Amino acid sequence: MSQSAYRTHYATEVTEKEIGHAVTVAGWVDRRRDHGGVAFIDLRDRTGLVQIVIYDEEQARPLRSEYVIEVTGEVRARPEGNDNEHLATGHIEIVAQSITVLAKSDALPFQVSTALENEAENKLPGEDIRLKYRYLDLRRPSMQRTIRLRSKMSAAARAALDKMDFCEIETPTLIKSTPEGARDFLVPARLVPGSWYALPQSPQLLKQLLMVGGFERYYQIARCYRDEDFRADRQPEFTQLDIEMSFASQDDVMAMAEQVIAAIWKAAGYEVKLPIGRISWQDAMDKYGSDKPDLRFGNQIVEMTDYFKDTPFRVFQAPYVGAVVFEGGASLPRRQFDAWQDWARQRGAKGLAYVQFSGGGELKGPVAKNLSAAEREGLQAAVGAKDGDAVFFAAGPRASSQLLLGAVRVEIARRQGLLKPDEFALTWVVDFPLFKPTDDPDDDDVAVGHSKWTSMHHPFTMPSADWIDRFDLDPEHAMSDSYDIVCNGEEIGGGSVRIHRTDIQDRVLKVLGIGAQEAQEKFGFLLEAFKYGAPPHAGIAFGWDRVAQILAGVGSIRDVIAFPKSGGGQDPMTGAPAPIPPEQRAETGVDYDPEAEQ
């Protein structure tokens, strides 16, 4: 299929085999060099580059960067010494016979030439310019690679799922507004004035209904929508690989998901060793100060609460004290530690206590003098530090202190260059609590109900077997059958066993403070469906943009989305969103007044 009306070969299909033959290629002028009255054009197409040699000055004169041309010519070996070993076509060149300019190009707002690709990324203009001229930005080989990788990822995931007999089913995106944690995008329904559709935050309820509908194994690469306030690296629309299984346990879903993960990673050229390890949520918090621990490196948090239980130091007289070792930190100057204080305060902490082990049992740093002699004595061994290391401490409520230490741990690793983008540390996080307090400061989801408890995952998550009978008596400690898959400190997917019994669902909704009438209004259809033989079911969803970003090793999910939105949900290229004319507004029905109808 490389042959078309415009070419006989793709650029990189022109090999030494074609020497002496005429070929026709088509693509963009990637670069032009002139040398002794002869023009050398790097012609670029989707496969790469091939060199065109033009002896005829008339032919060469009009050609500029990013002109689209069709070239017919004879293939020859490059003259001795002119080979380019970096190029697939580096041993040949095409001597132009005829050249057709298919389209011209104005001067470019920024350069997209392949030749610049390996130079410093800071040659690129700001992201707003890149997004305004996204069609140019996409021509850059690194964007081409990334978007193609994403396509391969999707193909690999589908192949793995098809092999396991999953059925791909499309679910609607004009649905009823249901509470799932964030704000819905809404669409006025012109034909039912005063009524609105919502765009789905996920196909959660619909995939559960597909299970009630007997499909047993469903998947979909689904577009999802969340109308959130702008945050770096969030998009108003995003993609999810959404999977659900009936007659399946948590282990069944995890085993299935591991097959999918292995297939995706393989498509990107990496091998994943199965099974993927598991860590409990509590362990992840205790050891890594995060529910999405980065396991590319060790340096676990050390709990020191017991160690300091009789401490004279007021700051450490706290419900929790923990420490993280800063390898080699003892030799750093004071101002670096001051900078760490600023870093901690920017994260909302009061500061970051530390001591330095300079060697020979000596302790330095402002904390040292506040400790008892015994504490000073045993400290280095207790935290597991070597001479020359420093240690950071956090003291206070357990959860927030651990989160701070978790961030310290990652920041140290970042500065030490341990966060390698082509190294992948995957882990399951399991044994999550069923509920969390609604006032969790680390969470900007809208609370679903009107209670002090909200769902850790979502309201349809099954309590774990030993909590089914009593989760509502002790919501604080109730556990759920849910699981996240984490890679390099990012949550790339998560799921749970779902509630398939109306009685359990009713009790969960009650804990969340959702009354029977409200539940009926919001998702009565799901509760109704559960009356007619709902199978036990469980599932998982992967954040597809995030997975692509991690596998492509790029800095932002915007780099794995062909046409992303910039901050505030705007598209600098098309100008969306935009005002609409009054006639169009009138047609939407948003100004419909039911009283005026009477």
**Contact positions with a copy of itself (CB under 8 A) in 367-426:** none
177 binds a copy of itself (CB under 8 A): yes
- On whether 58 is known to bind a ligand per the annotation, the reply is no
Q: For residue 6, how many other CB atoms are within 10 A of its CB? A: 14
Q: Which of 458, 308, 287, 453 is nearest to 375 (CA)?
A: 308
- Which one of the spans 79-87, 184-192, 374-382, 511-519 is the region binding a copy of itself (CB under 8 A)? 184-192
529 binds a copy of itself (CB under 8 A): yes
Residues 136 and 439: their CA atoms lie apart, in Å, by: 45
Q: 75 vs 248, which CB is nearer to a copy of itself?
A: 248
> Is the link from the previous residue into 577 a cis peptide, with omega within 30 of 0?
yes
Structure tokens at 430: 């399991």
Q: Which of 231, 531, 582, 596 binds a copy of itself (CB under 8 A)?
A: 531
- On whether 457 is known to bind a ligand per the annotation, the reply is yes
- How far apart are CB 142 and a copy of itself at their closest, in Å? 12
- On whether 546 is known to bind a ligand per the annotation, the reply is yes
- Contacts to a copy of itself from residues 482-501, by CB under 8 A: 500-501
Please, is 160 exposed, middle or buried when counting C-beta atoms within 10 Å of its C-beta (0-12, 13-18, 19+)? buried
Structural contact between residues 559 and 552, judged by C-beta atoms closer than 8 angstroms: yes
Please give the single-letter amino acid code of residue 364: K
164 binds a copy of itself (CB under 8 A): yes
Q: Which of 32, 76, 78, 158 binds a copy of itself (CB under 8 A)?
A: 158
- On whether 180 is known to bind a ligand per the annotation, the reply is yes
Q: Which of 9, 217, 436, 558 binds a copy of itself (CB under 8 A)?
A: 217
Structural contact between residues 324 and 299, judged by C-beta atoms closer than 8 angstroms: yes
- Contacts to a copy of itself from residues 13-32, by CB under 8 A: 26-28
Buried b (16+ CB within 10 A) or exposed e, 529-559: bbeeebebbbbbbbbbbbbbbbbbebeebbb
156 binds a copy of itself (CB under 8 A): no
Q: 196 vs 343, which CB is nearer to a copy of itself?
A: 196
Q: Which of 7, 436, 498, 558 binds a copy of itself (CB under 8 A)?
A: 7
DSSP character string of 331-392: GS-HHHHHHHHHHHHHTT-S--EEEEEEETTEEESTTGGGS-HHHHHHHHHHHTPPTT-EEE
- On whether 544 is known to bind a ligand per the annotation, the reply is yes
Q: At which residue do the structure tokens 């070929």 appear?
A: 23
Torsion angle (degrees, nearest 10) of CA 285, 385, 350, 396: 50
- Which one of the spans 43-51, 84-92, 319-327, 453-461 is the region binding a copy of itself (CB under 8 A)? 43-51
- Contacts to a copy of itself from residues 222-261, by CB under 8 A: 223, 225, 227, 229-230, 236-237, 239, 245, 247-249, 251-252, 256
Q: Which of 545, 539, 543, 481 is nearest to 207 (CA)?
A: 539
Q: Which of 216, 213, 217, 305 is nearest to 259 (CA)?
A: 217
- How far apart are CB 324 and a copy of itself at their closest, in Å? 38
- How far apart are CB 209 and a copy of itself at their closest, in Å? 5
- Contacts to a copy of itself from residues 45-84, by CB under 8 A: 45-46, 66-68, 70
Q: Which of 59, 97, 142, 154 binds a copy of itself (CB under 8 A)?
A: 154
Q: Which of 96, 185, 380, 403 binds a copy of itself (CB under 8 A)?
A: 185
Q: Which of 87, 147, 272, 419 binds a copy of itself (CB under 8 A)?
A: 147
- On whether 170 is known to bind a ligand per the annotation, the reply is no
- How far apart are CB 514 and a copy of itself at their closest, in Å? 15
- Which one of the spans 159-167, 281-289, 386-394, 396-404 is the region binding a copy of itself (CB under 8 A)? 159-167
582 binds a copy of itself (CB under 8 A): no
Please give the single-letter amino acid code of residue 548: A
- Contacts to a copy of itself from residues 118-137, by CB under 8 A: 133-137
Q: 249 vs 556, which CB is nearer to a copy of itself?
A: 249
Structure tokens at 240: 């999810």
Three-state secondary-structure class, residue 263: helix
286 binds a copy of itself (CB under 8 A): no
Q: What is the DSSP letter of 463?
A: B
- How far apart are CB 359 and a copy of itself at their closest, in Å? 55
563 binds a copy of itself (CB under 8 A): yes
Structural contact between residues 445 and 227, judged by C-beta atoms closer than 8 angstroms: no
Taking every pair of Cα atoms in the chain, the longest distance, rounded to a whole number of angstroms, is 90
Structural contact between residues 15 and 90, judged by C-beta atoms closer than 8 angstroms: no
Please give the single-letter amino acid code of residue 348: G
Site size for a copy of itself (CB under 8 A): 122
Q: 146 vs 356, which CB is nearer to a copy of itself?
A: 146
> Is the link from the previous residue into 203 a cis peptide, with omega within 30 of 0?
no
562 binds a copy of itself (CB under 8 A): yes
- On whether 543 is known to bind a ligand per the annotation, the reply is yes
- Contacts to a copy of itself from residues 532-551, by CB under 8 A: 532-536
- Count of residues in the chain: 598
- Which one of the spans 74-82, 346-354, 389-397, 524-532 is the region binding a copy of itself (CB under 8 A)? 524-532
Structure tokens at 314: 């007021």
Buried b (16+ CB within 10 A) or exposed e, 77-109: eeeeeeeeeebbbeebbbbbeebeeeeeeeeee
190 binds a copy of itself (CB under 8 A): yes
Binding site for L-aspartate: which residues?
A: 180, 226, 457, 498
Binding site: which residues?
A: 180, 226-228, 235, 457, 491, 498, 543-546
Binding site for ATP: which residues?
A: 226-228, 235, 491, 543-546
